[in-house]
Amino acid sequence: MVRPAIAVPVRASTDLDTLTDFFDRYGVALTTGDVAAIAACYALPGMVVADTYSFSFTSPAAVALSFVGAAPDYQERELVAAHAAIEDVQPMSALLTMVAVEWEFLDSRGRRVPGERYRYLLRSTDDGPVICTVLRTS
């Protein structure tokens, strides 16, 4: 007799290796200007919130368009690598996790360039975490 497969529910990711891998991929996409890879890191609809602006997007094309301007900034500053220093991980629900990150960058000369701090509301999916909301913090 063949037993039916039991579905294992997806749970909110608080595993540092999983989160580090996710933010490593996201950082590479940011510093290389790979807007398709950036878009793949987001849940839809998604939102970005800062002190003076907020915007949302409902399609991968809208995500890509919102990050098109970031690539020239990274190139102008000669940023070649990004590392997300994970400062805090808080499970919010069965599938949601809030992650506090300080971005650290390296320039083309290997010098450390301070970055900004963000909080990311991530949703766990069968394919791994995706960003629902980005909140720029100080």
Per-residue model confidence as pLDDT tens digits over 90-138: 999 999 999 999 999 988 888 998 888 999 999 999 999 999 999 999 7
Per-residue model confidence as pLDDT tens digits over 116-127: 899 999 999 999
Per-residue model confidence as pLDDT tens digits over 3-28: 554 444 566 667 899 999 999 999 99
Domain ranges of the chain: 10-136
Residue at token pair 């970005």:
48
Tokens of 100: 């506090």
| Residues paired with 102 in a beta bridge | 85, 117
pLDDT of residue 85: 94
Model confidence at 74: pLDDT above 90: no
Query: At 19, which helix (H) or strand (E)?
Result: helix 16-32
pLDDT of residue 6: 44
* CA nearest neighbour of 74 among 130, 35, 117: 35
- CATH says 10-136 is which class? alpha beta
Between 124 and 68, where is the model more confident?
124
